[in-house]
Structure 1
Amino acid sequence: MTEPRWLGAAQQRDWRAFVDGSVRLTEIMDRDLKAKHGLSVSEYEILVRLSEAPEHRLRMAELAEHASQSRSRLSHTCSRLESKGLVRRDNCPNDKRGVYAFLTDEGFEALDRAARDHVETVRDYFVDVIDPADLEAIGRAFTAVLKRIDNG
C-alpha cells in the first residue's frame, strides 16, 4: 500500500478556503433567494437551465445532469416548482419512458425577478471581491476540474 499524497501547507490552506468559501457562498445565495423570492438555490438552478434550453424544456435525465442533482432529488425539486406553477412536466411524445420539464411563463417571470437580485449577490460576494486575473484563473481551474470529472 502506498503512502497518500498529502497536501502541503499552502495546498491545505487553499483547499480549505475553497471548501469553506463555496459552502458559505452557497448558504448566502440560498438564504437570499429564499427570503426574497421563495426559491432555493437548487430550484433557481433548474429554472436557469430550463430558461436556457430550446423551447424552455429539457428531458428530466438531461436536467439532472445539468443541475447537478440525482434524478430522485430532481423529481422532488420539480414537484415543488410544479406546485408553485413555475414548471410543468409532461411525457415525451416519442418516448413513453421519457419526461420533459417545461418552464412556464410564470416560472420565467419568477426567474427574471430572482436573477436581478441573485446577480447582485454573486457580484457582492464573489466577482467584485476577486481580482479579474484571479477570477479568470478560477474559471480555467474549474473548467479543468469539470473536464477531469466528466472524463472520470
Structure 2
Amino acid sequence: MEPHWLNNDELGLWMRLHGLSERLLSDVDSQLRRDAGLTRYEYYVLAMLSESPTRSRLMSELALATNGSLSRLSHAATKLEANGWLTRSHAAGQRRSVVATLTDEGWDKICESAPGHVAAVRERIFDHLTPEQAKTLYEALAPLFNGTCPR
C-alpha cells in the first residue's frame, strides 16, 4: 500500500511547526536554565502547582497538565523536592495516589522565575503576532490536542 504522502502545503506547514518547536523550546529552555536554574519542564511543574488554588495536585493530574509521563514527572519532582520547592505525600485515604504540593520556597522560585520566562516567550512568539493572529493560531491548533491540552 502506497503511503499517503504530504502535499507541498502540508509539508511546508509541518516544517514550520517542526522548526518553531525545536527553536522555540531550545531558546526557552536555555533562558530558564541560565536565569532560573530550571529546565523548562521543571518550571512548568512549579507553574502548574502555582495555578492550583491549594498549590497541590495529584501527580497523575500534574503529569497531564505538564504534558509529561509519570516517570518524567517523578524525576523532575525528585530534583524540585531536593531544592525544597515541592513536597510529595500520599493522598488522604489513597495509598497509591501521590500529591505534589508547592512549598513557600517553591512559590518564591516560580514568582522570581516567571517574569524572565514570560519575557522570553513574548519576545519569541507574541511580539511577532497580532492579537487576532494569536487567537487564530490558538483556535487552529486546538483540534490537534484532542482535549489533552490544559487550556
- Same fold? TM cut 0.5: yes
Using the TM superposition, name which of 79-88 and 5-14 deviates more.
5-14
- Once the two structures are superposed, residues 52-75 of structure 1 have per-residue CA deviations (whole angstroms, 9 ceiling, x without a partner) of 113100011111111111111110
Greater share of helix:
1
CA distance in 1, matches of 2:147, 2:5: 20
Match of 1:47 in 2: 46
CA distance in 2, matches of 1:114, 1:145: 29
Amino acid at match of 1:40: T
Deviation at 1:87, TM superposition (A): 0.7
Identity of aligned residues (%): 34
CA distance in 1, matches of 2:148, 2:18: 17
Runs of 4+ in 1 over 6 A off after TM superposition: none
Match of 1:87 in 2: 86
5+ residue gaps, structure 2: none
User: Secondary structure at the residue paired with 1:34?
Assistant: helix
Q: Which has the higher contact order (CA 8 A, sep 6+)?
A: 2
- Once the two structures are superposed, residues 86-145 of structure 1 have per-residue CA deviations (whole angstroms, 9 ceiling, x without a partner) of 111011121011110000111111101111011100110001112332211110022221
CA distance in 1, matches of 2:115, 2:125: 16
Match of 2:66 in 1: 67
5+ residue gaps, structure 1: none
TM-score (norm: length of structure 1):
0.92
Do the aligned residues in 1 keep the contact of 2:64 with 2:148 (CA within 8 Å)? no
User: Secondary structure at the residue paired with 2:3?
Assistant: coil
Aligned residues: 149
